[in-house]
Amino acid sequence: MMICENCKERPASVILTRESMGEAIELQLCEKCAFQAQTLHVDPNQEPLSIQQFLSHWFGGAELFQAQQPQEAAHQGSECPTCGLTFLKFLDVGKFGCATCYDTFRGQLPRVLGKLHNGHAMHKGKIPVSFNKIYAVKKKIEAIRVKMQEAVEAERFEEAAALRDEANALKVRLADGGGESHVD
Amino acid sequence: MSIENFMQNAVTGWMAAHGEHSDIVMSTRIRLARNLRSYRFPIAFTEEESMAVDSAVSGALLDSEGGTYSYMKMADLPALERHVLVEKHLISPQLANPDRPGSVILSEDETVSVMVNEEDHIRIQCIYPGLQLKGAYKQADAVDDVLEKELSYAFDEDFGYLTSCPSNTGSGMRASVMMHLPALTMTKQINRIIPAISRLGIVVRGSYGEGSEAPGNVYQVSNQTTLGKTEQEILADLGNITERLIAHERKSRELLLAKSRIALENRLFRSLGTITYARLLPSSEAARCLSDVRLGIDLDIIHDVDMSILNELLIFMQPGFLQQYADGELTQEEMDICRAKLFRERLNVERASASSEGTEER
Ligand SMILES: [Zn+2]
Ligand SMILES: [Zn+2]
């Protein structure tokens, strides 16, 4: 296994080519050092296809992304205030540096996440109870409404009525500033 | 060390051959990726942050579930022990690197392992024998709840659980089943099935890493996407595909038996002969023969070998275990010799005890 040329500690998993005095130099780096490197270009021939190559294949590399998206040029410079990652660097390394990155690149993320997740860019699953109880209740009401709609369309009216009552009870709890009781 | 004692110490929960469809599905694994809100992800964090994450996570789990979990820092573990943890599938090769600030929290029966400071701050992993997607998820979910009570997770209303890699964003859940698919492989149908399945958001790969070749015809089938579906929907989709693969495999086995029984029996018994008597056993040959013998048992062609022994041998034939068994470093050739010895001992112990219970055979 190749060892990272920069830290000489971790295994190298990203090949970067960098211009130096008119010559292209290849660097074999670990993800951490690649993350910190300034100008990056991922070798598309590197095997196996990793997440960073996937991204650069889909977007034709960071340069192409820049060329195709002039209207997003303003975002290119925005740097994550917590970890220093830029969107171009993210496309090359394929990893976020911290939770704040998601806020920093919020505008571009639906496109990236959609490519990786069969067109989906919105979370539908588990929500930490501690995260926001009110938010959890709202999501639960949304889910009940979807089920209610299905029940109506299938003419299962009794079930639809029960679901409506359930949704209303939750709404009352929301109005009470509640959401205190457990939501599953 | 006697072979029985060695095996007793080394066997872990999921190697037992039980659980639903355990003839074809060897194990089920659920992995949840989580991060703490207030620290940068491992790719970007400082040593101080890494230590703070480590003590927060281990504190939360050990305090609430004290006694049932043990905590190990990678940097404190000898290389061989880290290697063995990887071969038991309890930690990732990435975590095993002692230069990283990683640690693992293991439940007593080893069905739960929580990796700290791998690619994400927290990776909860549950492995169960056979096909048990719901059971394994239930346990992982419970561990997640315990941690969540103490820790503030990085979570977003739109994107869900925030992870280091965008391919895990959302549920952070990777569910996978390890399947033994020899008939689909022999009849080359697997090559058509893999691309078809990938269109459904499910990936199939060889069980030991990313490569497509599958030693021992063992494949890992897992969900590719983590956004836009609930955990239950992801599990249901994966369960569906798994059941369909099982049905396909069973059908192909029947076809093989009907069309070329003698050729098949010849191959399976030769493989049994090889693992029972070989003096040099390279790992690729060992994996192929184990697959054949396993198929022989499933098809009711081979009777005097226990299935759970095959699961164990598939794990114990790897370099870390062999060196632990031999109690020292081994060259490639010594490894092949040691592997052959371990197989002979394990299979003969089992056969001796099986025949002593029944009528005398020897
Ligand atoms: Zn490095
Ligand atoms: Zn950041």
- The phi, psi pair for B126, rounded to 5°, reads -125, 130
Helix (H, G, I), strand (E, B) or coil at B336: helix
- 8 Å CB contact between A78 and A135: no
Tokens of B80: 């061989």
pLDDT digits over B200-228, tens only? 889 888 755 444 456 789 999 999 999 99
Alpha-carbon distances of B174 from B37, B61, B224, B225, B241, rounded to whole Å: 21, 21, 8, 8, 15
CB atoms within 10 A of CB B105: 22
Residue-level pLDDT at A49: 43
User: Taking CB atoms and an 8 Å cutoff, what residues of chain A touch B170?
Assistant: 113, 117, 120, 123-125
Output the CA B47–ligand 1 centroid distance in Å.
15
Burial class (CB in 10 A: 0-12, 13-18, 19+), B76: exposed
Q: Which residues of chain A register pLDDT less than 70?
A: 1, 16-22, 37-77, 132-134, 174-184
Q: What is the mean pLDDT of chain B?
A: 88
pLDDT digits over B4-37, tens only? 666 666 666 666 667 788 889 999 999 999 999 9
User: Taking CB atoms and an 8 Å cutoff, what residues of chain A touch B163?
Assistant: 96
> CB distance A96–B164 less than 8 Å?
yes
* Sign of the four-CA dihedral A89, A90, A94, A97: positive
User: Taking CB atoms and an 8 Å cutoff, what residues of chain A touch B154?
Assistant: 99
Gap from A108 CA to chain B (nearest CA, Å): 12
Among candidate residues B341, B264, B260, B259, the one with its CA nearest the CA of residue B296 = B264
Residue-level pLDDT at A43: 40
By the CB < 8 Å criterion, does A37 face chain B? no
Q: What share of chain A is helix, strand, coil (3-state, %, to 5)?
A: 50, 10, 40
Output the CA A10–ligand 1 centroid distance in Å.
5
> CB distance A98–B41 less than 8 Å?
yes
Query: B153: which strand partners?
Result: B36
CB atoms within 10 A of CB B68: 12
Alpha-carbon distances of B135 from A129, B80, B125, B132, B221, rounded to whole Å: 21, 31, 13, 5, 17
Higher pLDDT, B116 or B348: B116
By the CB < 8 Å criterion, does A146 face chain B? no
pLDDT digits over A3-21, tens only? 888 888 777 877 766 665 6
Percent of chain A with pLDDT over 90: 18
> CB distance B160–A125 less than 8 Å?
yes
Question: Half-sphere exposure (CA, 13 Å, Cβ side) for B13?
Answer: 17
pLDDT digits over A21-48, tens only? 667 777 788 877 777 764 434 343 333 3
- 8 Å CB contact between B9 and B100: no
Residue-level pLDDT at A64: 47
Residue-level pLDDT at B161: 97
| Of the partner residues A97, A102, A124, the one whose CB lies closest to the CB of residue B156 | A102
Residue-level pLDDT at B210: 41
Query: A19: which strand partners?
Result: A24
- The phi, psi pair for B118, rounded to 5°, reads -85, -135
Terminal-residue alpha carbon distance, chain A: 46
By the CB < 8 Å criterion, does A126 face chain B? yes
> CB distance A109–B159 less than 8 Å?
yes
Task: Name, in order, each residue with C-beta under 8 angstroms of B133's C-beta and a sequence gap of 6 or more.
Answer: B28, B30, B175, B177, B235, B238, B239, B242
By the CB < 8 Å criterion, does A147 face chain B? no
Buried b (16+ CB within 10 A) or exposed e, B344-356: bbbbeeebeeeee
**CA–CA gap between residue B216 and residue B293 (Å, rounded):** 10
Report every protein residue that has its C-beta within 5 angstroms of ion ligand 1. Answer: A 4, 6-7, 10, 30, 33
Beta strand extents in chain B (DSSP E only): 25-34, 69-73, 103-107, 112-116, 122-129, 155-156, 160-161, 173-180, 202-206, 218-223
User: Taking CB atoms and an 8 Å cutoff, what residues of chain B touch A132?
Assistant: 157
| Of the partner residues A95, A123, A131, the one whose CB lies closest to the CB of residue B227 | A123
pLDDT digits over B245-280, tens only? 999 999 999 999 999 999 999 999 999 999 999 999
Buried b (16+ CB within 10 A) or exposed e, B296-308: bbbbebbeebbbe
Gap from A156 CA to chain B (nearest CA, Å): 23
Confidence of residue B66 (pLDDT cuts 50, 70, 90): low
pTM for the complete prediction?
0.78
**CA–CA gap between residue B279 and residue B274 (Å, rounded):** 9
Task: Name, in order, each residue with C-beta under 8 angstroms of A85's C-beta and a sequence gap of 6 or more.
Answer: A35, A79, A93, A96, A97, A98, A101, A104, B44
Among candidate residues B241, B236, B229, B240, the one with its CA nearest the CA of residue B171 = B229
Closest ligand to residue A8's CA = 1
Q: Strand B69-73 to strand B103-107: parallel, antiparallel, or no bridges (unpaired)?
A: antiparallel
Whether omega for the bond prior to residue B93 falls within 30 degrees of 0, making it cis, is no
| Of the partner residues B40, B167, B210, the one whose CB lies closest to the CB of residue A48 | B210
